[in-house]
Amino acid sequence: MKASMKIGELAKCSGLSAHTIRYYERIGLLPYAGRDQSGQRDYDASILIWIEFLGRLKMTGMPIREMLRYAALRERGASTEAERRELLEQHRERVRARLAELSDCLLVLDNKIAGYTDTTMRMKEFDTAPPERRRKPARARPAHAR
């Protein structure tokens, strides 16, 4: 891995756009990059690990305001480790709850798909034809003056 990289290289390696990298830097999710002699951003390659972690937090639904809180705590150093751990533990509980919800939804989908797989059984259960749906007659609406 290279010791430093320009924003285009970082974008390519991280999967983020250069615009997103500049935005994350501006709001404080990424530390400000040093500049080379021509004034271009020069990122240390180790930032890729932090960007990957931010991507995981985002993928698991952590709001940006919490990511910013975590980043600010991280910037303050080792004295904030307990706060950072607590923030991550709370987020982990929300992720676990969401996984349980998704698992329930997956079970419903699996059951529905299984019902379509065995059409012979379904046809016997529902007497070969679905119930007829009737539309309610449309009510006449009074004409409005325009």
Domains, the chain: 1-59 (1.10.1660.10)
Predicted pLDDT at 1: 47
Instruction: Tell me the C-alpha distance between 9 and 21, whole Å.
Output: 11
**pLDDT per residue over 107-122, tens digit each?**
999 888 888 877 666 5
pTM of the entire predicted model: 0.72
User: To the nearest whole percent, how much of the chain has pLDDT over 90?
Assistant: 62
**pLDDT per residue over 13-59, tens digit each?**
999 999 999 999 999 999 888 888 888 889 998 999 999 999 999 99
Angle between helices 18-27 and 7-14 (to 10 degrees): 100
Instruction: Tell me the C-alpha distance between 76 and 61, whole Å.
Output: 24
Angle CA(20)–CA(33)–CA(11) in degrees, nearest 5?
Answer: 35
- Residue found by looking up tokens 């972690």 in the block: 53
